[in-house]
Amino acid sequence: MADIAAAEPWCVRETGLSDDSLSTAGLRHAESLFALANGHIGLRGNLDENDPRGMPGTYLNSIFELRDLQYAEAGYAYPEQSETVIDAPNGKLIGLYVDDEPFDVRTGELVSHERVLDLRAGTLRREAAWVSPSGTAVRIVSTRLVSFPHPSVAAIRYEVTADPGVRLRIESDLLANEEQPEQRDDPRAATTLHDALRPVRHSDDVLEHRTRRSDLPVAAAVSHHSTGAQTVTSEPDRIRCTITGEGTLRVEKFLAYAWGPQASADRARQDRDAAVSLGFDGLAADQRAYLDEFWTAADVELDGDPEVQQAVRFGLFHVLQAGAQAGPHPIAAKGLTGNGYDGHTLWDTESFVLPVLTYTHPACVGLALRWRHGTLEAARDRARELRLAGAAYPWRTISGAECSGYWPAGTAALHVNADIADAVLRYAAASGDDDFLAGAGLEILVETARLWCRVAHLADDGEWHIAGVTGPDEYTALMDDNIFTNLMARHNLRGAAEVCERFPAGAHDLDVGADELAAWREVADNLHLPYSEARQVHEQAAGFTKLQEWDFAETKDDDYPLMMHFPYLDLYRKQVSKQADLVLAMALRSDAFTAGEKARNFAYYEARTVRDSSLSAPAQAVLAAETGHLELAHDYLAEAALLDLRAGGESSGDGLHIAACAGSWMALVMGFGGLRDHGGRLSFAPRLPQHLPRMRFRLRWRESSLRVTVTPEQATYEVSGPAVEITHHGETLTVDGAPVTRAIPRGEDKAAPPSPRPPQRRRDALEA
Amino acid sequence: MADIAAAEPWCVRETGLSDDSLSTAGLRHAESLFALANGHIGLRGNLDENDPRGMPGTYLNSIFELRDLQYAEAGYAYPEQSETVIDAPNGKLIGLYVDDEPFDVRTGELVSHERVLDLRAGTLRREAAWVSPSGTAVRIVSTRLVSFPHPSVAAIRYEVTADPGVRLRIESDLLANEEQPEQRDDPRAATTLHDALRPVRHSDDVLEHRTRRSDLPVAAAVSHHSTGAQTVTSEPDRIRCTITGEGTLRVEKFLAYAWGPQASADRARQDRDAAVSLGFDGLAADQRAYLDEFWTAADVELDGDPEVQQAVRFGLFHVLQAGAQAGPHPIAAKGLTGNGYDGHTLWDTESFVLPVLTYTHPACVGLALRWRHGTLEAARDRARELRLAGAAYPWRTISGAECSGYWPAGTAALHVNADIADAVLRYAAASGDDDFLAGAGLEILVETARLWCRVAHLADDGEWHIAGVTGPDEYTALMDDNIFTNLMARHNLRGAAEVCERFPAGAHDLDVGADELAAWREVADNLHLPYSEARQVHEQAAGFTKLQEWDFAETKDDDYPLMMHFPYLDLYRKQVSKQADLVLAMALRSDAFTAGEKARNFAYYEARTVRDSSLSAPAQAVLAAETGHLELAHDYLAEAALLDLRAGGESSGDGLHIAACAGSWMALVMGFGGLRDHGGRLSFAPRLPQHLPRMRFRLRWRESSLRVTVTPEQATYEVSGPAVEITHHGETLTVDGAPVTRAIPRGEDKAAPPSPRPPQRRRDALEA
């Protein structure tokens, strides 16, 4: 673990470099936490001088290499290739030599070392005081940014101060095909590809490469502006600028990347030159202005829990860093903070990240969904290959091609299609972006509706069923009538039908006739939702409640995550959920359940959910809050929010859990705020536990901004912009110029239902 | 396809070498058909001179190499290595040069060419008349055998005759690490491993090797006895004997292999020398004597269908070639006729091959089951790894280690354990081999019963269930309460309990107490058997009849096998069966169903079974006969019997379907003969279709031999040895010295129920 200081409201501070933080795991953890990104470029938070390091990481969104997928036993329509994010040329490297002795935090004496991620400035600042092995003292200050408003640009300011006469030499590199550490043995980790970039051309200021197999062009430009004497050398994989001076040196290093349709050395040079003319201070000012605007619309305040307050802001910051868009791009599960999950985008994006961005930074969402639309042809091809209809979006991908190598928990998780449709409908309702909805949105909705219509079948019982698919819970696969899938498919089908009726011309262009609309509605209205009369709860999937109970008494702490210690054969056969599934359905499709059902279902699945997925706690927080377990909701919120920052360790080392970052916002705003958005309307049912005096969150809704301030007793709604109609605990309110305050109905804070793995704070409390 | 002549009762004759038969597919087909084996050594039926060839093949039972299994996404307890049968040193090679021109059937003029597999002699004889490109005529006669009574020995007699003065040269090789053709792209085919044998030592008469990774020793000895001048050269991978002469040359080549515990050059030499001293004629005489004894006990006669008559004998011959045992060894799915399925043993052995051998050549069965017992420790380890109890036998293996790389159709098919237990119980009942039963048999039964007891769970409905496993039908996986599995598990549990009570000391040694016996019986007596009230049929697994129907109208002929054209996602979700599953359960656990249930179930699953597995037709034949569809039973019998001989093509090229060979016996004896063996008793319900005048089969039962002769009107039972109590259509008979004849109750031959893929003969009839 990195050495992260106690919570501060607007920054994350590393106060030193202990042995623990200098271990590979500690280095990897800090590199992820301190990663800077803008949705396009991602720089892991490596030390300037590169060593020691856990894993380097310079990512350009959608720059990937292909690798062959191997199967012990092949099968029809198994993907033959996967895509893996690779390192772009690394421009972070700034080596320092003090009287020819290399600066290395592990040698000499490190008098002090601090790094600060500033969530308002959007920078990573480092200050170090070091005495070299031969006794020369230096002070180093570096500041790094990846520019939100200038999405192809990153910049570093590096200053080193020593006594006059001390010879200083900086070797600042732009380095391609850097050697990568070997990956640990975990299926969730990325494949390491060596030497993935083929050099095309190099000069003193630009490296041009193409990825070897995927053949994607990348150009990287660099320039240095310093107070010293500069010499530049270049070779195919490296540009090195050597800067020498005495006493004090200051360097500003500007990087610009060009890839994708804009890939050219000229484009990279142009963007770099624009950055140079702004200067580092100009870039930093633009960065702060961008973030000021973001936080004004998006900030969440939580009084009474500074640790979670910090973590929620940290999470929102990383959601923005992952999701910011200047053109349609995927948003990966790890954002651009690491190469975990091979840099793939999964359903997390539409079900966790986009809902948050929809209400905080909606422009990104339209573009992210346009990226999905841009991959629609691939999804149509995949549906044909799978002998289905419409579109079958991939379970995991960078380019749009299916990259999942284990179909029962990949291709069979068809819900990803409805998750995308859900994101389309939510964004369209919240933003009023009818241009998007009538075009790309409609097409996504129609093609996914067609998939569901083909997948569902009418059985003897007169109901429609979706058999043999996998829901969010990956410890239960290939089941019939997964309730999450069925509810999301229903929403997809109904939404598609409604949008087709709103935009008949578009529907006509897609050959949607009245019969097809009627068929969608017939399926939607009669999709089976399994329910156990014996246990008086809904079933996660048909028969789930009849499966064998998991033997939690015999399961040891180090048996988790279960997937690393038990075969799927065992997991699939039993009532154990990796993560919220039905519970997530109750959060996202809240109107499909009565309050009583929610309470019973929540308690039932609490006892069977182990949270081996970081996607779980947010949904459990939301339902815990709704069902009156406010303390428990707080604990789940904390678990989600603190995952990467405080608890992460191993699994954060190859990148942050961006969905959990988003999930902490959901836990707060959907949980304590009670936000629901069914039928294109906002409703709230805020409720805070007594020990939290106040929270405040902000939402974007169409042309308006809504600010909601909640105390245990009351909620105040304020709108800037046109009036917004909402409901507060069922009461319809129109919020216009003046704040509207309403009391919050009192309710007892219920005791947490039994759980095999209470959230960490709860366990700590139980143990204390 | 090979050029196989019209049916002859006791041999399979290839009458020439057409272009078709010289294609790779044709060559491979003939190499499989004409493979000779004795359960220990297998020699594919390549031409003596090796070229042209489809695939060479010299196999020693249990000599395999390891290869890494690769997974696109790894998982807990996935096997990391697989085992693949490899070629032992090839001693079949005999090249001929006529005045220095190489004999090659593709050059010069092939005046005549005939090969005959003689099922009584146990030899492959070849006669060729050839005129070399320069006009020299020769006649070649070769005879090859792999000795049943001398299991380490193979021998070849090769004679070539030409006009006096024609210079003849034979180059006869023993060749290791022969180059292998690349495998076709089919998951069922074997992986080709190059250079798998590491040379250890060589001399003029023995090659010694070890497999590289699995480190198994192999010694091969050769010697030549000829009428010509012999020169021998040797190198690490080859011994070559060059024999020259004029006009006429005759060579006898003796091969002996030593591997496994007996592996040594001395042992190989000893066995070879013993063969040399018998001479080829002596070996041939011993071979015929062995087979005479076999056929006396095992022959099946079927009047009225010479094609099937031949095929059934061919099948029995190959079952013997695969199953003969001089020591405990596995019996592979392809026997020793090719490298398909990597040479693995699957459940086919216990469920198809061993039942036939139990009644025709029981000594093999005891040894084959002792081999399973010898792998019990590996099965216990596997059960622990899978977090189960008792023993979990592998889905596919050579050594006993799990080699399945796709767990939903491998590891999850737990029924293999009950299949082994079933084979134990059947063999013990039929043979009376109490030594086996009280020792190895008991231990297998106990450990497999323990597995079932752990896997089953008691649900709210008061019944026991086995959830999330895969039955025989691989188009339906990970279902609850697969009826085949549950019935076989019940048999396993009850059988284990009974045998424990018979042998209390053995049970005590295995820590089986009264509580455990009671638990087994409780589970066995209350295992759920799913039944659809709506459709009035049993369900192959819970919910099967509610799945979507397969759209057969839209399925084209070249969409079969479905697994090559549809994803598992689609197959698993629908009511389509690759192969008999419930129908096989009705054959093997016949007493669990009423006649009415059998009729309804059979018709229901007929309409949904596509027979993409060669294991399907035999079970369908058995149930077709039992439910009164005699014509259909005959057609399924023919399909099973003719699969390799007449229809095989591609899938026979890498080895024969030994289970289908056995299945044709089952189709006849369990189908038309109505043999059932529940509760350790033999019952018959023979019924022949009117157009088949007579069939006769033989069974071994304890110390007796039983001969059953069936006509459409009556059946005659004859016993040699102690009296045997049987039932004939429900009537109990004691058959002693005198033949007992009983009338066969008349029944109409019912029309075949609808099937998406009627058996080939039926389709031919429908088209005609």
Beta strand ranges found along B196-348 (DSSP E) = 197-202, 206-211, 217-226, 229-235, 238-246, 248-259, 301-303
Tokens of A77: 């329509």
Distance CA A264, CA A217 (A): 8
- Chain B residue with minimum CA distance to A456: B548
Express each pLDDT in A537-592 by its tens digit: 999 999 999 999 999 999 999 999 999 999 999 999 999 999 999 999 999 999 99
Q: What is the ipTM of this complex?
A: 0.93
For residue B708, give the nearest of B661, B673, B736 by alpha carbon: B673
Name the one residue in this structure whose structure tokens are 């036993």: A73
For residue A664, give the nearest of A324, A302, A390 by alpha carbon: A302
**Is A72 in contact with B69 (Cβ distance < 8 A)?**
yes
**Is B187 in contact with A570 (Cβ distance < 8 A)?**
no
pLDDT beyond 70 at A192: no
CATH class for domain B36-296?
Answer: mainly beta
For residue A160, give the nearest of A128, A135, A131 by alpha carbon: A128
- Chain A residue with minimum CA distance to B413: A569
Q: Is A347 annotated as a binding residue?
A: yes
| A386, A412, A573: residue with CB nearest B467 | A573
Name the one residue in this structure whose structure tokens are 């995991």: A396
| H or E element at residue A114 | strand A109-118
**Is A568 in contact with B75 (Cβ distance < 8 A)?**
yes
CA distances from B50 to B46, B58, B704 (A): 6, 12, 45
pTM for the full predicted model? 0.95
Tell me how crowded residue B558 is: count the other CB atoms within 10 A of its CB.
7
Distance CA B271, CA B254 (A): 10
Contact A751, A766 (CB under 8 A): no
Express each pLDDT in A696-753 by its tens digit: 999 999 999 999 999 999 999 999 999 999 999 999 999 998 999 999 998 888 999 9
Residue to mutate among A183, A416, A546, with most B CBs inside 10 A, is A546
Tokens of B58: 């010299």
For residue A620, give the nearest of A756, A731, A767, A528 by alpha carbon: A756
Q: Count Cβ neighbours within 10 Å for each residue of B711-733 and write b for 16 or more, e otherwise.
A: bbeebbbbbeeeebebebeeeee
Angle between helices B415-431 and B362-374 (to 10 degrees): 140
pLDDT of residue B144: 98
Cα four-point dihedral sign B697, B701, B705, B710: negative
Strand B109-118 versus strand B11-14 pairing type: antiparallel
pLDDT of residue B649: 60
pLDDT beyond 60 at B185: no
**Is B477 in contact with A480 (Cβ distance < 8 A)?**
no
Q: How far is A84 from chain B (nearest CA, A)?
A: 13
Secondary structure class of A528 (helix, strand, coil): coil
Tell me how crowded residue A702 is: count the other CB atoms within 10 A of its CB.
15
Task: Give DSSP secondary structure letters for B463-506.
Answer: -EE--SB--S-TTS-SBSS-HHHHHHHHHHHHHHHHHHHH-HHH
Q: Count Cβ neighbours within 10 Å for each residue of B274-291 and write b for 16 or more, e otherwise.
A: bbbebebeebbebbbebb
Fold adopted by A11-297? Beta-galactosidase; Chain A, domain 5 (2.70.98)
Express each pLDDT in B624-651 by its tens digit: 999 999 999 999 999 999 999 987 667 8
Residue to mutate among B70, B73, B537, with most A CBs inside 10 A, is B73
Contact B369, B427 (CB under 8 A): yes
pLDDT of residue B179: 85
pLDDT of residue B327: 84
Contact A281, A287 (CB under 8 A): no
Distance CA B136, CA B163 (A): 8
The amino acid at A223? S
Q: How far is A750 from chain B (nearest CA, A)?
A: 29
Domain A299-703+748-767 has CATH 1.50.10.10: yes
CA distances from B329 to A8, B148, B355 (A): 70, 15, 17
Name the one residue in this structure whose structure tokens are 């006898």: B252
Q: How far is B187 from chain A (nearest CA, A)?
A: 6
Worst-scoring range by mean pLDDT, A207-216, A619-628, B708-717, B741-750?
Answer: B741-750
- Half-sphere exposure in the Cβ direction for B213 (13 Å, CA): 15
| H or E element at residue A418 | helix A415-431
pLDDT of residue B219: 98
Distance CA A5, CA A646 (A): 10
Task: Identify the DSSP state of A304.
Answer: T
What phi, psi does B587 have (nearest 5°)? -80, -45
Percentage above 90 pLDDT, chain B: 93
B459 contact residues in A (CB cutoff 8 A): 546, 548
Cis peptide before B745 (omega within 30 of 0): no
Beta strand ranges found along A263-393 (DSSP E) = 300-303
Torsion, Cα of B565, B567, B573, B576 (10° steps): 30
pLDDT beyond 70 at A463: yes
Cα four-point dihedral sign A645, A650, A655, A661: negative
- A184 — pLDDT class (breaks 50, 70, 90): low
For residue B695, give the nearest of B668, B722, B731, B723 by alpha carbon: B668
Q: Is A579 annotated as a binding residue?
A: yes
- B680 — pLDDT class (breaks 50, 70, 90): confident
| B76, B407, B465: residue with CB nearest A565 | B76
**Is A460 in contact with B563 (Cβ distance < 8 A)?**
no
Distance CA B331, CA B343 (A): 9
- Chain A residue with minimum CA distance to B80: A72
Q: How far is A387 from chain B (nearest CA, A)?
A: 7
Could you tell me the strand order of the sheet in which A731-735 lies?
A682-684, A724-728, A731-735
Residue to mutate among A78, A83, A387, A533, with most B CBs inside 10 A, is A387
**Is A407 in contact with B187 (Cβ distance < 8 A)?**
no
Express each pLDDT in B534-581 by its tens digit: 999 999 999 999 999 999 999 999 999 999 999 999 999 999 999 999
Percentage above 90 pLDDT, chain A: 93
Worst-scoring range by mean pLDDT, A179-193, A642-656, B578-592?
Answer: A179-193
Contact B298, B698 (CB under 8 A): yes
For residue A664, give the nearest of A697, A692, A628 by alpha carbon: A697
**Is B74 in contact with A187 (Cβ distance < 8 A)?**
yes
For residue B81, give the nearest of B97, B64, B66 by alpha carbon: B66
pLDDT of residue A647: 75
Distance CA A68, CA A86 (A): 15
Tokens of B207: 């090659």
Q: Is B348 annotated as a binding residue?
A: yes
Express each pLDDT in B368-403 by its tens digit: 999 999 999 999 999 999 999 999 999 999 999 999
Express each pLDDT in A395-428 by its tens digit: 999 999 999 999 999 999 999 999 999 999 999 9
CA distances from B25 to B3, B184, B185 (A): 12, 11, 14
Express each pLDDT in A666-684 by its tens digit: 999 999 999 999 988 999 9
Residues of B marked active site are found at 474
**Is B407 in contact with A570 (Cβ distance < 8 A)?**
no
Express each pLDDT in B482-501 by its tens digit: 999 999 999 999 999 999 99
Q: How far is B758 from chain A (nearest CA, A)?
A: 24
A191 contact residues in B (CB cutoff 8 A): none
Annotated domain spans of chain A: 11-297, 299-703+748-767
Task: Identify the DSSP state of B192.
Answer: P
Q: Is B548 annotated as a binding residue?
A: no
Residue to mutate among B402, B460, B476, B546, with most A CBs inside 10 A, is B546
Name the one residue in this structure whose structure tokens are 């150009």: A219
Strand A153-162 versus strand A248-259 pairing type: antiparallel
- Chain B residue with minimum CA distance to A534: B460
- Half-sphere exposure in the Cβ direction for B214 (13 Å, CA): 25
- Chain B residue with minimum CA distance to A546: B459
pLDDT of residue A183: 59
Question: Which one is catalytic: A178, A447, A474, A718?
Answer: A474
What are B198's strand-pairing partners? B210
pLDDT of residue B182: 66
**Is B79 in contact with A72 (Cβ distance < 8 A)?**
yes
